[in-house]
A and B are shown apart, each in its own frame.
Chain A
Amino acid sequence: MLTDASILFQIAGIGIIVALIHTILKQMDKEEYAQFATLVGFIIVLVIVVNGLSDLFQQIRSVFLFQG
C-alpha cells in the first residue's frame, strides 16, 4: 500500500499549502489563525505518517514471528 512515492508528494503538497496559508494569514494580521492552520496541517500529516508507521510495525511483526 505504501510502496510508491505518491505519499511523499502528498505530504510535501500539504506542507507547501499550509506554509502558504500561514504566510497569507500572517500578512492579514491574523497570527492566531495562522498558528491554528499550521497545527491542523501538522495533525493531518501526522495521521498519515502514523498510519504508515503502524503498517510497518504490523509487517515487521508478521514477518519476524512476534506473535508466538
Chain B
Amino acid sequence: MDIIQIVIIGIIASILYIILKDLKGPFAFLIVLITGITIFIVVINQIGSIIQMIESLGQKASIDGMYIDTILKIIGIAYITELGANITKDAGLGAVASKIELAGKIFILLLALPIITAVIETIFNFLPST
C-alpha cells in the first residue's frame, strides 16, 4: 500500500512545516521541496511499469516508435513543469511559475511539431491536386 506511505509522508511534512515556519530561516521551504521530490520519486517508479506496458502495446499494434516516444517525452515535460511551477508558486513567485508553465507549453509544442506536420501533410494528400 504505497498510497498510505505517501499520505503519511504528506502529513509528517505538514507537521514539520508548521514547526519550522515559526523558526527563522529557509528550512520550511526546503521541507516542502523535499516532500515534493520524495512523493514524485515514489510515483515515478510506478509510472515506469505503466510506460513499459504502453510501449509493448504500441509494438503489438505496430505503431511507429517515434510517436510513442514523443508522447512519453511530452508527459515527462508536463510532470517536470508542474513540479517546478508548483514549488515556485509555493515560494511566492507567481510570475516565475507562470513563466515556467509557458516554457513547458512551448517545449511541448516544439516536440509535437513533427506530428502536426505529418497530420497536415496527410490532409494535403487527401486534397485533389491538379
By a beta-carbon cutoff of 8 Å, the part of chain A in contact with chain B is: 2-5, 7-9, 11-12, 14-16, 18-19, 22, 38, 41-42, 45-46, 48-49, 52-53, 55-57, 59-61, 63-66, 68
The answer, yes or no, to whether B63 is at the interface (CB within 8 Å) is no
A3 to B41, CA, bound (A): 7
The answer, yes or no, to whether B12 is at the interface (CB within 8 Å) is yes
- Give the chain B neighbours of A66 by CB distance below 8 A: 73, 76
A9 to B38, CA, bound (A): 13
Number of interface residues of B (CB under 8 A): 36
The answer, yes or no, to whether B57 is at the interface (CB within 8 Å) is no
Known contacts A38-B25, A52-B34, A60-B44; 11 additional CB pairs below 8 A are: A3-B45, A5-B8, A19-B27, A46-B30, A49-B34, A57-B80, A64-B51, A65-B72, A65-B73, A66-B73, A68-B69
Interface of A is mostly: helix
Q: Shortest CB–CB separation between residue A62 and chain B, in angstroms?
A: 8
- Contact assessment for A38 and B24 in the assembled complex, using a CB-CB cutoff below 8 Å: yes
A34 to B51, CA, bound (A): 50
Q: Shortest CB–CB separation between residue B124 and chain A, in angstroms?
A: 30
